[in-house]
Amino acid sequence: MEYHDLSYKVDQMSAELAHVKAEQACYAALVEKKEHLHLEQKLADVQSQHDGLTQRISHLEAERNRGLLRGANAHCSVEMKSALESFIRRGGQDGSLEVKELSTERGGDGLIPRYIHDRIVQQLSGQNSIRSLCNVIQVQSDSVDILVEKKEADAGWVGEDEARKETGSPEILKMTISTHELYAKPKVTQKLLDDSCIDLERWVIEKVTQQMIAKENQAFLNGSGVKMPKGILSYLFQDEPTSWGEFQSFSVNRQQLSDGGAVSNALTDIVYSLKPGHLNGSVWIMSRQMLSTLRKLREERSGRYLWQPALLADQPSTLFGYPVVTVDDMPKLEEGKPSTQILFGNLKQTYQIADRTSLSLLRDPYTSKPFVEFYITRRVGGDVVCFESLKGLTVR
């Protein structure tokens, strides 16, 4: 029973105890001896239950103070941690655990405990990941339907006795974002698993996040939408978008990349082309190759560098006052091949990520002997839901 559940139970018992004591005080002089003894017994039973729950709460508080229930593992029992370690090291499971904690729809594997799932997702949202910039929702099914406004409603001014013309109506589109299976398959020798000094929880988390961050970044930017999320760069970037489903892009040629004035003008146009409602929370996204190019450019008149370093250790560098995020999955500069090299905008309004809430683990000691493989899977989907909140810079 959880700590807050016990506290609620104690409050209930305390209220009942007070009621019984009040009842005893009112009728003690009027009841028969037999009834009086019955009331005394009822009072003793309630007092005993109250004392038991109070003792249980004291025990839980002591465990919490010793660190057994602190931090990210606060809702994970010692038995669950022990069962997970046993499963990773030897493939065994503790039969005393509740079925709901280790069951899954498929045979042969188990659901990773919630506290490890949460730590993996937390690390996936760091380390210059696209995920950390986007809007993320948790889903229980294989897909989620989202209503998207393709066209805004219109309005107009009119005199008191003038005819009212028809105004434009909003156009709503229902999008379905499907989740796709993302997996990691690290392997290790049984000898290493037998080493009790190895922190297996940390090892699992680090191996999973290293592989999944790389795959997610690639998919959220370049994914085709087939067996993976549909990426931002899979959509068209046009100088003048003609329909919903296209981003606006500004262009420079390859020779102008060494011209601080030309690049500065293009980037300024990008910033001021974004509607005010999208600017708050906007960031620049580019590869380290492109950032290296921009860091060398200066403004024509002032001679100041376009790129500004962060003033504090935990703050990002900026470009025109907006944070710069480097993601190496952005396209590489190639001679004669136009490509979108820089993105600018509010990704929380632009891109929607859908996460299935479960994460499963399969232990395979047979396929790659003498190694033990761990097949870890989760389901993730993603797609663009707004094309006005993001702009691009294309190098031709």
Q: Please, which pLDDT band fits residue 98 given cuts at 50, 70 and 90?
A: very low
Q: Please, which pLDDT band fits residue 172 given cuts at 50, 70 and 90?
A: confident
Total number of residues shown for the chain:
396
Answer whether residue 328 shows pLDDT above 50.
yes
CATH architecture of 111-151+170-395: 2-Layer Sandwich (3.30)
Between the alpha carbon of residue 166 and those of residues 154, 158, 173, 261, the distances in Å are: 9, 12, 22, 46
Count Cβ neighbours within 10 Å for each residue of 16-54 and write b for 16 or more, e otherwise. Answer: eeeebeeeeeeeeeeeeeeeeeebeeeeeebeebbeebe
pLDDT tens digit sequence for 18-75: 776 777 666 665 555 555 556 667 767 777 777 777 777 666 655 544 433 334 444 4
For the ranges 148-157, 174-183, 291-300, 339-348, which has the lowest average pLDDT?
148-157
Burial class (CB in 10 A: 0-12, 13-18, 19+), 199: exposed
pTM, to two decimals: 0.70
